[in-house]
Amino acid sequence: MTQEQPPRSAPNLWRRSTSDRMIAGVAAGVAARIDAPSWVVRLAFVLLTIFGGVGVPLYIIGWLLMPEEGSDESHARRIASRIDGEQQ
């Protein structure tokens, strides 16, 4: 007798929001992933920028690494594939 395994669901990936964005959708994407209001994450980015200066670099890293909703390719992956294509 074989047991059937339930189909694997798509992993819950981090995605930048296309609908709830102020700049690039990073804060809204993080908020959706952690199930928090987007204004809280935006405030956290602002506070991290004011007290420590890491808010902007973290936001840029999120923009580079998080694909947009409806896409599987991040900016970093696009840049890497262009560089790889130029070297061949």
Spatial distance between the Cα atoms of 33 and 1, rounded to a whole number of angstroms: 39
Judge whether 55 and 63 are in contact, CB under 8 Å: no
User: Quick check: pTM over 0.95?
Assistant: no
Q: What is the DSSP string of the chain?
A: -PPPPPPPPPP----B-SSS-SSSSHHHHHHHHHT--HHHHHHHHHHHHHTTS-HHHHHHHHHHHSPBTT-S--HHHHHHHHHHHHH-
Which residues sit opposite 68 in a β-bridge?
A: 16
Domain residue spans in the chain? Answer: 26-87
Which tens digits make up the pLDDT trace of 11-69?
A: 558 899 999 889 999 999 999 999 999 999 999 999 999 999 999 999 999 999 999 98
